[in-house]
Chains A and B, each alone.
Chain A
Amino acid sequence: MTEVLTRVLGWAGLLAVAAATAYALFGVPADLNQGDAQRIMYVHVPAAWLAYLSFGVTALGGIGWLWKRDLRFDWLALAGAEIGVMFTFFTLWAGAMWGRPVWGVFYQWEDPRILSTTILLALYIGYLLLRRLTDDPVRRANRAAVVGIVAALDIPITHFSVEWWRGLHQGPTIGSPERVLDPAAPGQFVLTLLAMLAAFTIAWAYLVVRRYQLAAVQARVDEAARRGSLAAARAAAEGGVPRVVTE
């Protein structure tokens, strides 16, 4: 993607998030039962959606790497995991901020949705830590791909946990097949939520592009450093002294 297009994406994401946030906070009416606390839904749900999407990208990147042996898939997987960890934290944070005024608690270990989301966060923090264990890009990509694919199994468990098990967390508002045409919220709330989803997704796309670019540049820096140290080692082995350039 060209630099101009990336910048356009960034500005579009910024403006969309700003406009949708302003409408969610000041435009849409408050919920009859939950009052203003329900406005937290407009950031909580998009954060969760983007966490799923990010980890889906990580899993697809892992599959792509194992299939094509092209490191660009691994860079994409890394971008998804890092951004996904951030959005999973946002999901739990917004959930806690919503839960305290509505449920009376910030967090409940017994709730399947909250617990599986916490496990999702732990899995992908582990994924990022695993990547630091080796400098060998191929070995790192192999290990990360396997963990990224296996960890993605927690995505459907997290999403459908509110339907499979009973807990404190409410059921899906729009995110299940029977809710798509019959949402569990008034139309204006659903449209605001969809606008926030779209705005956050544009911002997410910008972040993925930039994080991918960073991974690509870092890979080239690591490669240059490896070649530099190899050249120095060769020069030392041949009895030569590595040339030092001074101003």
Chain B
Amino acid sequence: MNPLPFIVAAYAVIVGGLGAYVVLLWRRLARARAELDQAAPSADPPRDDG
């Protein structure tokens, strides 16, 4: 049996999956930071500096 398709499938899914997860993490992190920037000013009570 020719192992080449199995080698390609193993490496492609693992290396590609790692890359895809990194990109997904970046996007989720950017979205969460944008949500925080939106939510924080309206949720924080106004500062009373006296």
Contact = CB atoms under 8 A, between A and B. Distances in A.
A-B interaction: yes
Interface in A219-245: 220-221, 224-225, 227-228, 231, 245
A180 B11 CA distance: 26
B9 to A, nearest CB: 5
B42 A40 contact: no
Nearest to A206: B22
Interface in A175-207: 203, 206-207
Interface residues of A, number: 39
Interface in B6-41: 6-7, 9-11, 13-15, 17-18, 21-22, 25-26, 28-29, 32-33, 35-36, 39-40
Interface in A79-119: 83, 86, 89-90, 93-94, 97-98, 100-101
Nearest to A214: B29
Contacts of B39: 221, 224-225, 228
Interface stretch (A31-39, A55-63, A68-76, A146-154): A31-39
Q: At the interface, is chain B mostly helix, strand, loop or mixed?
A: helix
A7 to B, nearest CB: 11
A97 B21 contact: no
Contacts of A134: none
Given A98-B6, A228-B42, A43 B32 contact: no
B28 A224 contact: no
Contacts of B14: 43, 47, 90, 93-94
Contacts of A121: none
Nearest to A91: B14
Nearest to A229: B43
A210 B30 CA distance: 11
B43 A224 contact: yes
Contact of B3 (A101, A217, A245): A101
Interface of B: 1-4, 6-7, 9-11, 13-15, 17-18, 21-22, 25-26, 28-29, 32-33, 35-36, 39-40, 42-45
11 contacts: A36-B7, A37-B3, A43-B11, A43-B14, A90-B17, A94-B13, A207-B25, A213-B29, A214-B25, A220-B36, A231-B45
Q: Which 4 pairs of residues, A with B, have the shortest CB-CB distance? A: A37-B3, A224-B39, A97-B10, A228-B43
